[in-house]
Amino acid sequence: MKKMLMTTAAAAALALAFASAPSRAAQWDGADDLPTNPLACGTGSNPAPASKPYDGGKAVNAPNLAGKEITVVDIPKLIGIGYFNATSKGIQDAAKELGNVKVTTDGPTEAKIDEQIKFIDNYITRGVNGILFAANDPVAIAPVLKKALAKGIHVVGYDANSTPDAREWFVNQAQFNGIAKAMMDSMAKEIGENGSFAIVTSTFTTPNQARWIAEMHAYGDKCHPKMNWLETVEAQEDNVLSFNQATTLINKYGDKLKGIFGMTSVATPASAEAVTKAKECGKIAVVGLATPNAMKPYVHSDCVKSVVLWNPVDLGYAAMYVMRDVVDGKLKAGDKEADAGKLGKLQVVNGSEILLGAPYVFDKANIDKFNF
C-alpha cells in the first residue's frame, strides 16, 4: 500500500532525525518500528503464536498475601469514557466475585502520560498491594511501574502495554495481527481493493494503536496491496478533536476518501458523526474499534457497517483475576495458561501476555445483543 507523510510540519520535524534514523520517516503514520507478523489472507485458521520465555518483571520481596485481602488501584489511560467505564465494571465485578479484593479506579481525565504517571506515583506512596494499568506511553510509564515493582507492589497491565520488564503480566484483548486483519478485511469489503482511506488515532506513542497500525500496514501490503493509505491523524482520544480531524480529512480529500478507520472508542463514533454531518453516509465507510452502545445509532442508520472490538468488561474482569492469581502465587513464569474465573482458562502468549480472545465484528445483525 502507498503511504503518505502526515503533515508538512511532521515531516519537517522528522527531517532533523534523518541522519541518525533514516527508516523512521517512512513509518511516520502512527505505526511503531517493531517486527510485524501478518496473518494469512482471507478466511481460515491461523497458527497459534510461538511460545517464548517469560519476559515480564518481578515484584521485589512482595509480602505473602495468598488468600488474604488485598488493595488494588486501577489506573487506565483516562477515566470518564465508555470504554474504560466498561473495563472498570469488569474489574469491580471480579473483585466482588473474589471477595478478598478492594479495588479503586482512578486516573486522569485526559489521556496524558505525565498525569497518569503522577497518579501511579501517588498510589505507590499511599501504599497498595497491586496496580492495574492501561498505558498512555509504553516507555514513559516504565520507570514508575518499575518503582512499584521495586517496592513489592504487583503490577499487571491490560488494554495498552508497557515495556515487558515494567510489569509482571499484560492482559491483551486480542492479538494485534488479528485485530489488523479484521480491520483491513472489513474496510476492503466496504470500499474495494482500490479504495483510499485515512486513520484517526489517539497519539503516535499510544502502544496498542501503534501496534495495530503497524500490523495493518503489514497485512495490507500482503493481502490488499492496491488499497491506498492517505494519512493518519492524532486526536488525543478527545471527542471534539476526533470529530474535527475526521471532518478535515473529508474536506481535504473529497471524493478520493472512501474510508476512515477509527482506532479508539472515541475516534470511531466521532468519525461516524462527521461522516453523517457531511452527508457522506454510503460514500465514506467508517470502520473502527468502539463499544457497541456508542455505535448503535450509526449502525442502525446504515452509516456504519463494521465495528471491531472485544468485550471490555471481560478484559477488566480478566485483568483482576490475573492480579489475584499473581498475588496468590497461582500464576508463575513459564505457565501456559491463566485462570480467569467465569472466562475459564486463558492462553499465555509472547512470554508474559495473556490473551482474552479473538476480535469480534459487530454489525446490524448482532449489535443489539450487547450492552456496553
CATH number at residue 282: 3.40.50.2300
User: What is the widest separation between alpha-carbon atoms in the chain?
Assistant: 62
Buried b (16+ CB within 10 A) or exposed e, 133-143: bbbbbbebbbe
Which of 38-52, 61-75, 162-176, 189-203 is the least confident region?
38-52
Higher pLDDT, 308 or 259: 259
Please report, rounded to a whole number, the percentage of residues in the chain having pLDDT higher than 90. Answer: 80
- pLDDT reported for residue 205: 82
Residues 165, 197, single domain; the answer is: no
For residue 28, tell me if it sits in a domain.
no
Residues 188, 216, single domain; the answer is: yes
Residues 225, 237, single domain; the answer is: yes
Residues 289, 266, single domain; the answer is: yes
Mean pLDDT of 220-242: 95
Residues 152, 182, single domain; the answer is: no
> Between the CA of residue 234 and those of 29, 139, 215, 266, 277, what are the distances in Å?
10, 19, 18, 12, 20
Boundary of a domain, candidates 309, 336, 366:
309
Please indicate, yes or no, whether the overall pTM of this predicted structure exceeds 0.85.
no
Residues 169, 291, single domain; the answer is: no
Residue 146's domain spans which residues? 70-173+311-357
Q: Please spell the DSSP secondary structure of 173-231, one letter per residue.
A: SS-HHHHHHHHHHHHHHHH-TT-EEEEEES-TT-HHHHHHHHHHHHHHHHH-TT-EEEE
Mean pLDDT of 194-221: 93
For residue 11, tell me if it sits in a domain.
no
Boundary of a domain, candidates 253, 280, 309:
309
3-state DSSP assignment of residue 260: strand
Round to whole Å and give the CA distance between 105 and 162.
19
Best CA proximity match to 293, nearest among 370, 233, 362, 345: 370
For residue 5, tell me if it sits in a domain.
no
Higher pLDDT, 44 or 196: 196
For residue 23, tell me if it sits in a domain.
no
- pLDDT reported for residue 3: 42
| Digit-coded pLDDT (tens) for 134-155 | 999 999 999 999 999 999 999 9
Residues 209, 94, single domain; the answer is: no
Residues 207, 294, single domain; the answer is: yes
For residue 64, tell me if it sits in a domain.
no
How many structural domains compose the chain? 2
**Predicted confidence band of residue 21 (pLDDT cuts 50, 70, 90):** very low
For residue 230, tell me if it sits in a domain.
yes
Residue 178, pLDDT > 70, answer: yes
Residues 119, 265, single domain; the answer is: no
Residue 4, pLDDT > 70, answer: no
Residue 351, pLDDT > 70, answer: yes
Residues 182, 148, single domain; the answer is: no
For residue 37, tell me if it sits in a domain.
no
**Predicted confidence band of residue 370 (pLDDT cuts 50, 70, 90):** confident
Mean pLDDT of 13-26: 32
Round to whole Å and give the CA distance between 332 and 312.
25
- pLDDT reported for residue 9: 36
Residues 326, 250, single domain; the answer is: no
- pLDDT reported for residue 16: 32
Higher pLDDT, 267 or 12: 267
For residue 84, tell me if it sits in a domain.
yes
Round to whole Å and give the CA distance between 308 and 288.
6
Residues 180, 221, single domain; the answer is: yes
**Predicted confidence band of residue 342 (pLDDT cuts 50, 70, 90):** very high
Round to whole Å and give the CA distance between 75 and 155.
11
Best CA proximity match to 140, nearest among 79, 83, 58, 207: 207
Round to whole Å and give the CA distance between 301 and 175.
30
Mean pLDDT of 155-167: 97
Mean pLDDT of 354-368: 90
Task: Give the cell for residue 282.
Answer: 454510503
Higher pLDDT, 48 or 244: 244
- Region of 324 (left: φ > 0; alpha: ψ -120 to 50; beta: rest) is alpha
Residue 11, pLDDT > 80, answer: no
Round to whole Å and give the CA distance between 77 and 182.
24
- Are 131 and 73 in contact by the 8 Å Cβ rule? The answer is yes
Residue 326, pLDDT > 80, answer: yes
